[in-house]
Structure 1
Amino acid sequence: MNRVEGLPGAANLALVGGVVHLEPETAVFNAMLKGWETQQQARFLDWESTIKPRLWLVRRFAAFTNQYPWQWQPVEVEAFIDHLRASRPTFAVSTGRSYQNILRLFCEYITDARYSWPATCVERFGQAPVQILHEWNTVTHTGEYEGSPGRRPLTYDEVQALFDAADGRVEEIRGRRRKGALAALRDAMLLKTVYAFGLRRGETCGLDLADLRRNPRQPDFGRFGALFVRFGKSSKGGAPKRRTVLTVPEMGWVVDVLDQYLEEVRAALSPGKHPALWVTERRSRISGRRVDEAFETARSAAGLPEELELHGLRHSYVTHLVEFGYPERFVQDQVGHEYASTTALYTGVSDEFRNRLLLRTQQQRHPSLWEHQT
């Protein structure tokens, strides 16, 4: 395939012409990385979440091999993955596959003749880069879910214990007459909101006051009848997805939580005209790290397993909506999943619910067998 001179990421654009480098190998390698960065930016991939980690991994792999990309062979990547597995007993299969996919993508870029890197490397170093990752030396995807078994929905009792611990921390700080009670109360209310609407971390941080919506079908909930989520998880190269999450009656208690937060807590934090719903003591938007810390603090105080994560509240939301009897499509739309199979992976209904479902199905299919028992 012929090269395209003006293609974003092409060698002729990434390498400065007419310059004699003291270390030509390093200069070409850095230009490759810069070119790959440009190519990904042209596809509107996110810098922080996608491009930056990819560049970091390629540099890490290059440091491990002590070679340049046009010198890499399959044996290097096999040794790299083996080293990671040996040095990190908890190295997950999904992480290994992710690393392999990133390195494969980089090799696809530098071996694509349209970007001129093969010709450039042959001209300068007498050797062209090759693809080092193939079907025979990469992880095979054999299951729908390969995450940690510890990542699961919280049970009803665990959710309640988490909330009780978060509330208890507020009282403890007040009782000791120390600073931080207001922030602790905000954290407790934030965790309850994450669960009540099945939110992701980033979605929670991105909420503004303007995202509080009324639902004409649920007038009793007032301005808390729905949340307009503007920073949903995006597809690769796409903008953040938007959705409206309706307040379901079973989670109606969150209305009082949010009302108290706005009238008492947020007002006391004095954010001025800041648009964010969740603000800090310094009048700024709350960060994802702070949200994680709020969950971890409450989890520790409640004595819950360390394997449980903030995202587990979202799993709990999905599971509990299913147990409440909401249709699968409704649940899928509430959490913003493109595919029903993704929602299914989030669901971990209890044995009690499955037994009730089994009993109801039997009664519907064989009513005569149950008439004498009623």
Structure 2
Amino acid sequence: MSRDVPAPGSAGLHLVADLPLLRPEEQVFTAMLDGWRNQQLARNLAFSTIEGREKAVKAFTRHADAFPWAWSAHMLDEWLADLRALRHLKRSTLRGYAEAVRSLCAYLIDPAYGWAAECHSRFGTHPIQITHEWNTALHLQEAECDPAKRAFTRAELLAFFDHADEQVHQVRGGGRKGWLPAFRDAVLFKTAYAFGLRRNETRMLDVVDFSRNPHAPAFGDFGVCQVRHGKAKKGAPPRRRGVLTVGPRAGVGGMDWIVEVLQQWTEEVRPAFTHADSPAMWPSERGPRIGFTQMNTRFATYRDALGLDGGLDFHSFRRSYVTHLIEDGWDARFVQEQVGHEHASTTALYTCVSSDFRIRTLLKALEQTTRAALGPNQQKRNT
């Protein structure tokens, strides 16, 4: 970067020198947030990340009743303690809020952006870094999800899908409206499980994202699911991957049942939606694409109606996909590629094998050990 060119988000881009401000504190704070946003955009961070950080910073500002040039570490301590003690927020959420404040402070104290000098000239003080190792939570382990979160058992999953199908029949049989959305959501849930998809990956699917697999022509137009909105690394675009439809092997059932489900959906039911001309695989009743609220509400309604515990969420479909493939003997590397994990250790965290599987594995290992031990003696007796 040239020394003569101001950095993206510098104070000079937003405040005109020697111009009196009507509400200096509020206007300077707004200019700071605008500059910070430009800096993060220059780093290619996702819009959702930037917006979430800005909301966190504004919430801290309201709690502290002070602007960044008057913030202190004590104010941050009180805010985070309040969020944990009274609102019972999760550790990962608190760390995200603290990271938002840390990021803004780092931006404001950087000489390249000129905010320290600007604040000192206007308010007689300047921002400081208020987040440190001694007052913020550290990321100490790879997985910090709620311990209650888990995969479906096979019986729970079957009951969930049966209940979803039954709701379609009940609504349609009663002559009531709403069977189309109920049918859509039932297929959506099954698709999330059959391809091991995250919630946003499922929501953002388009009709054209399904295609043929030349090595498995029996699956027709649904041999491959192209995921174009995979979870991105910080500052990177969404990751893409192709997920193969898994067929049965060695007497173990696969996920090929999803082909018939998707065929019925795309050929018979989806065209009945008002927004069927939308490219989205899951059109809404009022818009071109289903929203997260609709997905979450329907899932929670079905889960609670069956009396399943709250540890099951939409992501449990993905956990179940990994778990069931591993239990059925699929290669761990293949499963890792299917779900798009960079590291095998991440896939291992998703694997919640059942006690029956562990017992079968143990008995198989014992049988092999016994056979190996008796093998030489058996050979001697036979000779």
Q: TM-score range by the shorter chain?
A: over 0.9
Partner residue, 1:122: 120
Shift of 1:18: 4.0
Cα 1:85–1:4 shift into 2, 3 Å: farther
The partner residue of 2:104 within 100, 103, 106 is 106
Corresponding residue of 2:250: none
- Does the alignment pair 1:276 with 2:274? no
Does residue 267 of structure 1 match 2:271? yes
- Structure 1 contact 363–370 (Cα < 8 Å) conserved: no
Shift, 1:271, TM fit: 4.1
Letter in 1 for 2:41: Q
Matched, 1:293 2:304: no
| Cα shift at 1:97 | 1.3
Deviates more, 1:359-368 or 1:55-64: 359-368
Cα distance in 2 between the residues matched to 1:4 and 1:320: 59
Normalized against structure 1, the TM-score is what?
0.93
1:154–1:308 contact (8 Å) kept in structure 2: yes
Matches within 5 A, 1:1-374: 5-47=5-47, 49-88=48-87, 90-249=88-247, 250-269=254-273, 271-282=275-286, 284-369=288-373
Q: Secondary structure at the match of 2:234?
A: coil
Contact in 2 for aligned 1:3/1:113 (Cα 8 Å): no
Measured in 2, the distance between the counterparts of 1:227 and 1:200 equals 13
The answer on whether the counterparts of 1:100 and 1:133 sit within 8 Å (CA) in structure 2 is yes
8 Å Cα contact 1:4-1:114 kept in structure 2? no
Partner SS, residue 135 of structure 1: coil
Task: Report the Cα distance in structure 2 between the residues aligned to 1:4 and 1:28, rounded to whole angstroms.
Answer: 23
Q: What amino acid is aligned across from residue 7 of structure 1 in structure 2?
A: A
Partner AA of 1:314 in structure 2: R
Which range is displaced more, 265-274 or 240-249?
265-274
| Bigger mean CA deviation after superposition, 267-276 or 352-361 | 267-276
Letter in 2 for 1:80: W
Q: Is the 8 A contact 1:200 1:311 kept in 2?
A: yes
**What is the CA deviation profile of residues 59-100 of structure 1, one whole-angstrom value per residue up to 9, with x for unaligned ones?**
111111111211111111001111112221x32111111111
Letter of the 2:213 counterpart? N
**Partner letter of residue 63 of structure 1?**
R
Stretches of structure 2 lacking an aligned partner (at least 5 in a row):
248-253, 379-383
The verdict on how the C-alpha distance between 1:97 and 1:4 changes in structure 2, with shifts beyond 3 A counting, is farther
CA deviations over 1:279-318 (Å, ceiling 9, x no partner) = 2334622222222223223212322123321111111111
Residue 334 of structure 1 deviates from its aligned partner by: 0.7
Deviation at 1:369, TM superposition (A): 4.3
Residues 308-342 of structure 1 deviation map (CA, whole Å, 9 limit, x = unaligned): 21111111111111111122221111111222222
- Given residue 305 of structure 2, which amino acid in structure 1 is its aligned partner? A
Choose 4-13 or 101-110, whichever is displaced more: 4-13
**Structure 1 segments of 4 or more deviating over 6 A?**
370-373
Between the two proteins, the alignment pairs up a number of residues equal to 370
Q: Aligned letter for 1:19?
A: L
SS at match of 1:137: coil
Q: Secondary structure at the match of 2:126?
A: coil
For the Cα contact (< 8 Å) 2:6–2:113, is it kept in 1?
no
Deviations 1:205-226 (A, max 9, x none): 2212211111122111111111
Whole-Å Cα distance in 2 between the matches of residues 43 and 140 of structure 1? 23
- Structure 1 equivalent of residue 381 of structure 2: none
Shift of the 127–274 alpha-carbon distance from structure 1 to 2, 3 Å rule, reads same
CA contact (8 A) 1:4 1:10 kept: no
Conservation of the 8 A alpha-carbon contact between 2:270 and 2:276? no
Query: C-alpha offsets along residues 40-65 of structure 1, whole Å, 9 cap, x if unaligned?
Result: 11122222x21111111111111111
Distance, in Å, in 1 between the alignment partners of 2:94 and 2:44 is 25
Q: Distance in 2 between matches of 1:328 and 1:339?
A: 11
Letter of the aligned partner of 1:27 in structure 2? Answer: Q
Give 3-state SS (helix, strand or coil) of 1:203's partner: helix
RMSD between superposed Cα atoms in Å: 2.1
The separation in 2 between residues aligned to 1:39 and 1:242, in whole angstroms, is 26
Describe the SS at the equivalent of 1:251: coil
Shift in CA distance, 16/367, structure 1 to aligned 2, threshold 3 Å: farther
